[in-house]
Amino acid sequence: MVASSGTARDGWSSRTAFILAAIGSAVGLGNLVRFPAEAGANGGGAFVLFYILCIVLIGLPVLLCETLIGRHGQAAAPESYRKLAMESGASRAWEMVASLGVFSAFLVLSFYCVLGGWVLYYIGTFVADLVATGVTGPAFDGLSYEEVDALFPAMIGNGTATSLLDLVFLAVTLVFVSRGVSGGIEKVAVYLMPTFFVLLLGITIYGLFGGAMEQTFAYLFSFEPEKLTPEIMLAAVGQAFFSLSLGVAGMVTYGAYVGRDVNLAGTSAIIAGADTAVALIAGLCIFPIVFAAGLAPNGGFGLMFQTLPHAFQEIPFGSLIGLAFFVMVGFAALTSSVALMEVPTAWVIDRFGLRRGAAAGLVTLGAAVLGVLSALSTGALSGFHPLGFIPIFEGLGTLDALDALTSKLTMPIGALLTSIFIGWIADRRLVDSENGLSGGLHLFWRFLVRFACPLALGAIMVFGLMG
């Protein structure tokens, strides 16, 4: 299946390839650590139900908006927006929405690969530990709790190591993106995503039958609606939005490689459903092991890089399970970084007419510079605050500043303007010809895009900036 825009354009070989690639783009580190911890601490089953509602009413409609813009335009994100805007009799300035998404993807890529480098460090650590302690025993045999706890701060404080690991992860991402859509990006999705799901289910089964299953279900799914405060509800809306990687023009870019025979509505539903399932299963994967070790279910990266290594100290086959877990996380991080790099790469190709390898190399060079600054921000450059002159970014190092800039500002703005563009500006006939919906479902989607999505996304931005 090859899309075209005047000239032959690389594309997905099948609908399945597109679905796997899109799921790989959406499934990332946030699914594996942030959602389970948020759910357990903020109402259990009540939070889960509200989150799923947010996916259906906010995330999925915007996801469909992005993919239909890409497929209609059959080009890099700004060109796709411009084409739909001009055919709708609107200003070509709407392409700036996509340009903001391209910029966001580039910024996220620069620090996301730093996190990918951290995952590589732990993969190497567990490989060495498996060789030293054997397959059947617990991880880090002979090391104290304090010594294992010190691994993470020592790693992020070593600027040379984290910078090198960032560049290695970035280089691996470049290899796949430079080989094209069907020859590289599709390959990483088709092979890594099924392996990711096998590892996720395997570790989940091990944890449920060998860990604290009853305590995990009570933590994740006990129904406590009284904990659903307005702040927690807004956090659930934000988690649903960020979980699907909206606002970085990723789905616009991937949508440009989709053929006309693919129903975008049904495909978008599969992508959103798979992303949500991963987030739920991740909780069943992680917390039985954590609770069985008698540890607290901390959130964020402390859960992944400190709490879980301690948990692997306490269980049989700890080194093997730990290695499998971080390999699984590495696969999720790589499929996401590939999608992030493809967005600015496609733009450079369309805008400057460069060959794919040169375009991807140029993007990699820029991301490497920002990435090294981010890697050093947890060590040697911890006192450097690039956006410190702005009150909401005061005191934040490069990595945290870029994360806050994209998550609180550029991504929500991009998604908000996308929903306004499709709901109010784009020609309804053109939109209807792409979205794959009909009847009452189509009317409901249009209502959500015109009213519910802009209000929710505006709230995410306003309260994010206030916080």
What pLDDT score was predicted for residue 243? 87
Q: What is the reported pTM?
A: 0.95
CB-side exposure of 191: number of CA atoms within 13 Å? 9
Gyration radius from the chain CA atoms: 22
CB 397 within 8 A of CB 382: yes
Q: What is the mean pLDDT of the chain?
A: 93
Q: Give the pairing of strands 4-5 and 7-8.
A: antiparallel
The whole-angstrom separation of Cα 130 and Cα 133 is 5
What pLDDT score was predicted for residue 467? 64
CB 68 within 8 A of CB 455: no
3-state secondary structure the chain: CCCEECEECCCCCCHHHHHHHHHHHHCCHHHHHHHHHHHHHCCEHHHHHHHHHHHHHHHHHHHHHHHHHHHHHCCCHHHHHHHHHHHCCCCHHHHHHHHHHHHHHHHHHHHHHHHHHHHHHHHHHHHHHHHHHCCCCCCCCCCCHHHHHCHHHHHHCCHHHHHHHHHHHHHHHHHHHHCCHHHHHHHHHHHHHHHHHHHHHHHHHHHHHHCCHHHHHHHHHCECHHHCCHHHHHHHHHHHHHHCCCCCCHHHHHHCCCCCCCCHHHHHHHHHHHHHHHHHHHHHHHHHHHHHCCCCCCCHHHHHHHHHHHHHHCCCCHHHHHHHHHHHHHHHHHHHHHHHHHHHHHHHHHHHCCCHHHHHHHHHHHHHHHHHHHHHCCCCCCCCCCCCCCHHHCCCCHHHHHHHHHHHHHHHHHHHHHHHHHHHHCCHHHHHHHHCCCHHHHHHHHHHHHHHHHHHHHHHHHHHHHC
Question: In the beta sheet, which residues pair with residue 223?
Answer: 44
What pLDDT score was predicted for residue 7? 37
CB 115 within 8 A of CB 28: no
pLDDT tens sequence for the chain (467 residues): 334 333 346 899 999 999 999 999 999 988 887 888 788 778 788 888 999 999 999 999 999 999 999 999 999 999 999 999 999 999 999 999 999 999 999 999 999 999 999 999 999 999 999 999 888 889 998 899 999 999 999 999 999 999 999 999 999 999 999 999 999 999 999 999 999 999 999 999 999 888 889 999 988 888 888 888 888 888 888 888 888 989 999 999 999 999 999 999 999 999 999 999 999 999 999 999 999 999 888 767 888 999 999 999 999 999 999 999 999 999 999 999 999 999 999 999 999 999 999 999 999 999 999 999 999 999 999 999 999 999 999 999 999 999 999 999 999 999 999 999 999 999 999 999 999 999 999 999 999 999 999 999 999 888 888 86
Question: In the beta sheet, which residues pair with residue 8?
Answer: 4
For residue 295, what are its two tokens? 């540890």
CB within 8 Å of 82: residues ≥ 6 apart:
73, 92, 94, 95
For residue 7, what are its two tokens? 């000239």
What pLDDT score was predicted for residue 239? 85
What pLDDT score was predicted for residue 9? 67
Question: In the beta sheet, which residues pair with residue 44?
Answer: 223
For residue 276, give the nearest of 52, 66, 59, 65 by alpha carbon.
52
CB 307 within 8 A of CB 295: yes
| 461 backbone φψ class: left, alpha, beta (φ>0; ψ -120 to 50) | alpha
What pLDDT score was predicted for residue 276? 94
The whole-angstrom separation of Cα 204 and Cα 466 is 38
The whole-angstrom separation of Cα 17 and Cα 31 is 21
For residue 204, what are its two tokens? 């989940």
What pLDDT score was predicted for residue 306? 92
The whole-angstrom separation of Cα 203 and Cα 127 is 17
CB 139 within 8 A of CB 313: yes
